[in-house]
Each structure stands twice: as structure tokens, then as C-alpha cells.
């Protein structure tokens, strides 16, 4: 049973008062002063470390107070306290390399994890059509023509068949030309997936699903042609970044659509602005991933002289790196980072 506002305040107020004392001490410049631990019996910690710990707790308390619709004065008190703590703790990270480091190590992966339900939907919308169409094309090669036309099928055969020569995945162009092409093409796809979320999220679902259909059709067709090794060794490395970026862009677009469909106590404009602010680190994340994917695709994936086994090994490492970064990096800082970002 949820606590009443009075019980909630009585239980957590000692920590709030301790945080206020710590902020006062930092503002006064008494950096070596120790703050008396809250009544939890915690060990005495240096002021800065203890304030950071209390700040994260206070962010969690604020989230609970908002979720349970506690009185306005209680929510306002916590908002003021967390805002003050955030300004004190992160004021050196507002600009420059420190801000960039904080974005890469904490904000971006935390923002991705905050979209876990949107990310799950986007992943299913991409993976299920890929598998279904891939199997259907494998069983009946002519099924590929229901997704792409004959000219595109011919192009795929030329890019991944035996006639592709020493450069897979392309019919012409040098490495630098293709690097620029991949950037323009992949970034365009991802931002269409993201921006299409403004159509109440339906647009993002359509764009992500269509890319899944296309991937499945190409894979199934090339497997039937006997070019599976050439195709999968080509895509395995850069797909860790490219496919993840497409799914992330779709999840971010769904967040925009969700905000418009269910704005809660906010107006739709306010909800949309808040969703855009919350997804901005995700946009940064998938944009960087697409640049990395373009570089790998242009200079590594297309090199037919590299043994497939080597590409599979490197590709496996890239997938592990991407999943570890998004799932584990800075996980202990999620509550503080997301609450600070939401304000």
C-alpha cells in the first residue's frame, strides 16, 4: 500500500535536510567538512560523494512524488532541492569536453535504457518482418519481388554475387565516395524513422517495419543464390551499429508519438517538447553509430580479401560492444541523469 504524503515526508525528510546541509557546506566552500550521515546508519563520507549519493536518492523521491500525485508543495520542494543539487554537482560539465564526456558515458546510454518499452516494440517491429520475409523468400525465391522490383534484385545480385569482385556491397565507387554515400543514405533512413513518429508513432513503426521487410527479402534471396557467406560476412560488422541505430531511431520516434497520444497532465505541445528533450541524447547516440557504421562499411565490410571468419569475429566483438554500452555503461547513474535531463 502506498504511503500517504505525510508518511512519505516523515520517512525521507532527514535525507532531504542532510542534502540541504551538504549543499550549504559546498556553497560556503567548506569542502573538507563532513556531513553527518542520515539516520540510515551510513558511514561518514566526504561531502562531495555524500551529496551526490543523496542527490540520486532525492531524484528517486521526486519521481515517486510525481507518480503518486502528492501535494504540490511537496513536489515543489523536491524539485527545488534536486535542481539546486544538479546545478552544484554538474555545473562544471555544462560546456566543453566535460559535457561531451558526460553525454557519451552517462546521458546517452541512460536515455536509451529509459526507452526500454519503446525499444522493445521497435525491435519486434524490425525483427519479426525480417525473419518472416527472410524465410518466405528462402522457401520461394520469387517472393522477393513482392518487396523489391526486378532491377533492385539484379543490383543485389551484382553487389554480393561472384561478379562483385574485390569490393562487396557496391557496384561502383571508391571507398571515400561510398563512405559519403553511406552516411547520407543511412542518416536519412534513421531520421525519417525518428521524424515519422510525429504521425502518432505510426510512421516510425511503418519505417522500421519496412526496413525489416527489405533486410529479410535481401537476406533470403541471397541465401537461395548461394551467396550467404559473402552477404553475411559483409553485413555482420557494420550492422551492429547500423541496425541498432535504425531501431533506436524508431524507438525515439515512438516516444514522440506516445507523448502526443498520451500527454498526461501536460498539453500536447508541452509533452512533445519534453519527449524531444528526453530523446535528444538518443538522437546523438544513433547519429554517431551511423557514422561509425558508414566508416566500417566503406573500408572494412566491402573488402573481399578479408577472410569471412575474421569478419565474423570482429562483428561479434562489435555486437558485444554495442550491447554492453547501451545496457551497462553508467547504469548506476541512471536515476540522477534522467531526472536532471527531464527538468
pLDDT of residue 119: 96
Best CA proximity match to 107, nearest among 122, 91, 93 = 93
Cα atoms found within 13 Å of the Cα of residue 73, Cβ hemisphere only: 3
Which range among 77-91, 239-253, 311-325 shows the weakest confidence by mean pLDDT?
77-91
What is the rounded distance in angstroms from the CA atom of residue 175 to the CA atom of residue 179? 6
8-67 tens-digit pLDDT: 899 999 999 988 888 888 777 644 444 444 444 444 443 567 788 888 899 999 988 888
Cβ(252)–Cβ(286) below 8 Å: yes
Quote the pTM value. Answer: 0.72
Cβ(50)–Cβ(35) below 8 Å: yes
What is the rounded distance in angstroms from the CA atom of residue 25 to the CA atom of residue 212? 55
> Hey, is 118 helix, strand or coil?
helix
pLDDT of residue 36: 46
For the range 144-149, what are the long-range contacts, defined as Cβ-Cβ under 8 Å and sequence gap of 24 or more? 144/217, 144/218, 144/220, 144/221, 147/213, 147/214, 147/216, 147/217, 148/214, 148/217, 148/218
Best CA proximity match to 271, nearest among 251, 282, 285, 257 = 257
- Domain residues of the chain, as ranges? 5-94, 110-342
pLDDT of residue 166: 60
Amino acid at each position: 500500500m502506498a504511503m500517504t504524503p505525510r508518511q512519505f515526508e516523515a520517512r525521507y525528510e532527514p535525507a532531504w535536510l542532510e542534502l540541504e546541509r551538504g549543499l550549504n557546506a559546498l556553497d560556503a566552500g567548506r569542502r573538507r567538512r563532513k556531513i553527518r550521515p542520515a539516520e540510515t546508519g551510513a558511514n561518514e563520507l566526504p561531502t562531495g560523494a555524500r551529496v551526490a549519493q543523496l542527490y540520486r536518492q532525492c531524484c528517486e523521491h521526486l519521481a515517486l512524488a510525481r507518480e503518486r500525485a502528492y501535494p504540490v508543495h511537496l513536489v515543489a520542494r523536491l524539485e527545488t532541492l534536486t535542481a539546486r543539487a544538479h546545478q552544484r554537482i554538474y555545473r562544471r560539465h555544462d560546456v566543453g569536453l566535460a559535457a561531451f564526456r558526460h553525454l557519451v558515458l552517462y546521458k546517452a546510454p541512460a536515455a536509451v535504457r529509459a526507452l526500454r518499452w519503446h525499444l522493445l516494440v521497435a525491435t519486434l517491429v524490425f525483427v519479426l518482418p525480417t525473419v518472416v520475409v527472410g524465410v518466405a523468400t528462402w522457401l520461394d525465391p520469387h517472393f522477393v519481388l513482392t518487396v523489391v522490383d526486378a532491377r533492385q534484385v539484379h543490383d543485389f545480385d551484382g553487389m554480393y554475387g561472384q561478379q562483385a569482385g574485390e569490393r562487396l556491397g557496391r557496384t561502383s565507387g571508391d571507398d571515400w565516395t561510398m563512405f559519403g554515400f553511406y552516411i547520407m543514405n543511412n542518416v536519412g533512413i534513421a531520421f525519417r524513422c525518428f521524424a515519422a513518429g510525429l504521425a502518432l508513432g505510426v510512421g516510425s513503426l511503418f519505417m522500421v517495419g519496412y526496413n525489416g521487410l527489405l533486410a529479410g527479402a535481401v537476406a533470403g534471396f541471397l541465401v537461395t543464390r548461394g551467396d550467404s557467406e559473402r552477404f553475411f560476412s559483409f553485413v555482420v560488422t557494420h550492422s551492429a551499429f547500423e541496425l541498432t541505430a535504425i531501431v533506436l531511431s524508431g524507438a525515439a520516434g515512438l516516444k514522440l508519438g506516445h507523448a502526443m497520444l498520451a500527454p498526461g497532465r501536460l498539453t500536447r505541445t508541452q509533452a512533445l517538447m519534453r519527449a524531444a528533450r528526453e530523446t535528444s541524447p538518443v538522437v546523438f547516440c544513433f547519429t554517431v553509430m551511423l557514422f561509425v557504421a558508414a566508416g566500417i562499411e566503406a573500408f572494412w565490410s566491402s573488402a573481399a580479401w578479408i577472410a569471412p571468419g575474421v569478419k565474423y569475429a570482429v562483428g561479434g566483438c562489435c555486437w558485444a560492444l554495442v550491447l554492453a554500452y547501451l545496457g551497462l555503461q553508467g547504469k548506476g547513474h541512471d536515476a540522477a541523469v534522467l531526472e536532471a535531463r527531464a527538468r
